[in-house]
Amino acid sequence: MKTRLPDYVIRVHGDPSELPVPAWNELLSIQSQPTPFMRLDYLQALTNSLSATAATGWQPQFLSVWLDDTLVAACPAYLKSHSYGEYVALCRNQQLAD
């Protein structure tokens, strides 16, 4: 007899406000060294203040893993649309940095 594996669902969220704050922060609280910079409240503030948005080159693409209605894993992620400030000092030619 085969054992049925759980049906996990992976979702990508373009806005951190789509995620449940209590469930996200509960995942963070079980980490050995949680940081306040990973709290969903903080990450939402980056978006709400227009600091981390597609228009600023930081498009939110948060990943979440669900088992039924329970958030079991989550990760903040951003799509970068430019290289402003990153590794530019290593390039003599600005065109290479873009």
Q: How high is the pLDDT of residue 3?
A: 86
* Highest averaged pLDDT of the listed ranges 6-15, 74-83, 88-97: 6-15
Its pTM surpasses 0.85? no
Per residue in 21-52, pLDDT (tens digit) is 999 999 999 989 989 999 999 999 999 999 99
Q: Tokens 């709400």 — which residue?
A: 48
Taking the mean position of all CA atoms in its chain, how far away is CA 76?
1
Which residues, listed in sequence order, are joined to residue 9 by a DSSP beta bridge? 66
Q: Tokens 């949680």 — which residue?
A: 34
Contact at 8 Å (CB) between 62 and 20? no
Q: How high is the pLDDT of residue 44?
A: 96
- What are the extents of the domains in the chain? 8-97
Structure tokens at 23: 């469930």
Q: How high is the pLDDT of residue 81?
A: 84
- Per-residue pLDDT band for 62 (boundaries 50, 70, 90) equals very high
Per residue in 3-28, pLDDT (tens digit) is 888 899 999 999 999 999 999 999 99
